[in-house]
Structures are given as C-alpha cells and as structure tokens.
Amino acid sequence: MHGIEVQTKQPTTMLARIPLLLTQWLAVLPLAWVRALGWVLGALLYVTVASRRRVVATNLKLCFPAWSLAQRRAQTFMCFVYFAQAWLDRGWLWYAAPEVTRKRVELVGAVHELDGHAPTLIFTPHFVGMDAGWVALTQQLPRQFMTVYARQTNALVDDWIRKGRQRFGSGRLFDRKAGFKPVLAGLRAGEPLCLLPDMNYEPKESVFVPFYGVLAATVPSLSRVARLGRAKVIVMVARITPRGYEIEISPAWSDFPTDDLVADTALMNLRLQTYIDRSPAQYYWVHKRFKDRPQGEVPPY
C-alpha cells in the first residue's frame, strides 16, 4: 500500500512543479514578452474554462447591467487576460533581480500614510495584481507588514506562494484559520495589516450589504479590526500597466470606523466600486461573489 501511495502522488507533485518552474524561467524575459504570453494564456483559459467564464459573465451582468452584450464579452475576455498576466508576472515579482521589481512596481498616491508607527489597516481589494502591491510594500518601505491568507490545499503550491510573498523578508503571513490574536497584537504594535474582506466566504460571519446594488455576503472584518486595533484605514489598489504595476495608496478614511458594523461594511463596498470602475476587468471576477444569498434567493450561478 505504501508503494502504491508514493507512485500515485509523485506524478501529481511533478505536474504541479512544472508551471511553478516555468514562472521562474519567465523572470529573465522582457516584460513585453511575459505580457504577450499572458494574452495567449488568457485567451486559452477564456476558451477552455467555460464554467469560470460563465461566473465572470454573470458577475459583470449583475454589476454592470447597462453594458451591452458585446461590452460584457469584451470585458470578460480581458478579465482572463489580466488574470493570466498577473499570474505569470509572479515570475519576475518573486525571482527577478530586486532592481527589476523596484523599477517596474511604482508606489503612488498617499504613500506618506505608511510613514511612522501608527496602527494602520490596509484594505487590499482583490485586484489581480495584488501580489505586486505586497512586493512594493515589503521591498520599498522600512516597516514590517502583515497579511492574512488562505492556505492552499496543494502543499507545493502553498510553499511556493509563501516563499514568494516573503521574498523581501519584511512580510508576515498568518493562516486565516489560525486565529486573529497575534495579528491584532501586531497591528496595535505598529505593523500595518493588509486585509482582503471583499470576497464571499465565511457566510456565518458575513452580513448582506449592497455591492453594485446587489446584496452580497461580506465579512465585516474591516470595521471590526479597525476598532479593535485602534487603526486608521487606507486602501491599496494594484493596477497592471505597460511598465509593470501602479500601486495606489489612498488617504486615510476620516469617517471610518463607526459604531455601526453593517453601515461600515456597506460603505466599504461602495468605495470599492469607485476603484473597480477605473479598471473593471482587473478585478477578481472569477470568484463567485454572489454565491451565498439571503434566505429565499437562488444563487445566480
């Protein structure tokens, strides 16, 4: 039995290792070549992964009802292109020379909000380039940063992601299921925390608030953690550009948090829409954002 187990697992491990090795090889290519490969991979995914294509199309139909069918199809296609480009960009983000990442990843906006040691909560929406934002923070700024992440079921992939995100040594990763006490302690001690509460997960802990006019199950952790950590809230949005990435830091929100958890979460979604509207195809629409529904409603997927 032990021999059979090894034989069945080894090919799976090797198959998982191949695309990870390929991303390392991509680190030496010109950016234009990597992005061109992303177009090809994105087009292939768009054609072959029909189930996820329907998810993207459904999300866009719900959130942008004024768009024509042609607009939705074009934006759906670009979602896959940007998704693929961002995935391949991990090659140079995690393995290229440090001077390459510093040149290609630009911090803009209210970067001064990350000066000093004040408790700071960084709302980091799921734009496909969010790993570039993490690289910018951990490479270019003198503070240590934290984030909470979902452990991958494939141990090889999980190890690859953790090592990539800890490349520059000033980032701490906490498993989402491991408890929040050490994260909160770090936040109060002055380590900025990147929080990504804009997906549909943990339905028992979520509240239903509008997202583009559609009720969406949303974890109210941004408001809760800001209060508990006595932290200011800023936003970090990572956008793909021809030169690499633009990482925009917003001014601190002066009216957040309040004593109303639900109202704060609705405001978070409303402000998120303004960032998505600037580059809608770069948001992570491959996720089933409206999977959990209020009682009596049928999921749209």
pLDDT at 212: 98
| Residue 250, Ramachandran bin (φ over 0: left; ψ between -120 and 50: alpha; else beta) | beta
Please give the span between the terminal C-alpha atoms of the chain, in angstroms, as a whole number. 41
Residue 43 near residue 111, CB atoms below 8 Å:
no
Residue 91 near residue 132, CB atoms below 8 Å:
no
Q: What are 92's two structure tokens?
A: 């140079």
pLDDT cut 70: percent of the chain above it: 93
Give per-residue pLDDT as tens, 240-259: 999 999 999 999 999 999 99
Question: Residue 39: CB partners within 8 Å, gap ≥ 6?
Answer: 81, 84, 85
pLDDT at 200: 93
pLDDT at 5: 31
Q: What is the average pLDDT across 182-192? A: 90
Q: Domains of the chain: which residue ranges?
A: 2-282
Q: C-alpha distances in angstroms, 101 versus 44, 87, 214?
A: 27, 15, 38
Q: Is the pLDDT of residue 157 over 90?
A: no
User: Locate tokens 């140079």: which residue?
Assistant: 92
Cβ count within 10 A of residue 154: 13
Residue 211 near residue 287, CB atoms below 8 Å:
no
Mean pLDDT, all residues of the chain: 90
Locate the DSSP E strands across 24-153.
Answer: 105-109, 120-123, 145-149
